[in-house]
Amino acid sequence: MRQDFLKVVDALNGVGQVFRSKIQRTPIIVRETCLRRHVAAQAALIERHSGNDADVEFSANREEFVLWRLIEDVVDHLDGVDQSGELLVRHAGAAPRYGFFREYLKDAEATAEAWDGGWFHTGDVVRRGPDGAFHFVDRKKNVIRRSGENISAVEVESVLMQHPAVKQVAVAPAPDQVRGDEVFACVVSEGAPPDAAARQQIAADIVAWSLSRLAYYKAPGYVAFVSAVPLTSTQKIQRGALRELVATTIGSEACVDTRSLKKRPVQKAG
């Protein structure tokens, strides 16, 4: 009987259960995403029959069964709005791994690292909005840490890809003695490979483009012109190979140092 009116849908952006019935077409969320502080511990489904029709009632015991916290390298727990950090989760009861995976197969070291301190380290950097919802920023391994700021490589790439001179781009951190990391953009330009003068001009244009669309610290501090960016067979950026490309390209003729162009916007008086 249940399969006639009940369908469970698991969705990544609302990891939970959405119940639909033939009678009530509007989806009813009976368990909210685990990326929220308050999550229903269980849902009770009550079927009530009257004649040939069936009504469906939903109720949920709203208790905390997943705890979360955001952390940065130097801050244990971030509570502020619009702060970003790595998302950590665990079960609220005595068994922190309940409802999560138990371990990596034959890899005790990776398991211990993932569950360091009794919390599961998701590896996802998220930002908490004013309404308490979490917004995905990037994978932690793709985040550039510049002067204490978290910069999403994917965010910068999406902006640079809109520049008319950019055919393909990949962004990675480059070491900086003062700021820790600096934003390094590997650019495949449209048309013929630019000469030295054209590289300087295009790099300056790219930084100006970024400053008009991003916070100043997210603009590239280096722009390198390359023939191709390393990709996987599914056309995703190979982040490991990209870091190697950065190491071999920085300081070369193909790389333009644009750090002096990254200026904090001047606040107008009044």
User: What is the average pLDDT across 223-236?
Assistant: 94
* Residue 80: predicted pLDDT: 60
Does this model's pTM top 0.75? My answer is no
Provide the 10 A C-beta neighbour count for residue 109: 8
pLDDT in tens, 147-178: 888 898 999 999 999 999 999 999 999 999 99
What phi and psi, each to the nearest 5 degrees, are found at residue 147? 50, 40
d(CA 143, CA 46): 46
User: What is the average pLDDT across 230-251?
Assistant: 94
* Residue 139: predicted pLDDT: 84
pLDDT in tens, 180-205: 999 999 999 999 999 999 999 999 99
Averaged pLDDT score across all residues of the chain: 76
* Residue 79: predicted pLDDT: 59
Beta carbons of 35 and 21 less than 8 angstroms apart = no
Domains recognised in the chain with CATH numbers: 2-62 (no CATH), 68-132 (2.30.38.10), 141-261 (3.30.300.30)
pLDDT in tens, 56-96: 333 334 445 777 777 765 445 555 667 778 888 888 888 88
* Residue 42: predicted pLDDT: 34
d(CA 79, CA 84): 10
Mention every residue, 6+ apart, whose C-beta is less than 8 A from residue 165. Answer: 189, 190, 202, 205, 206
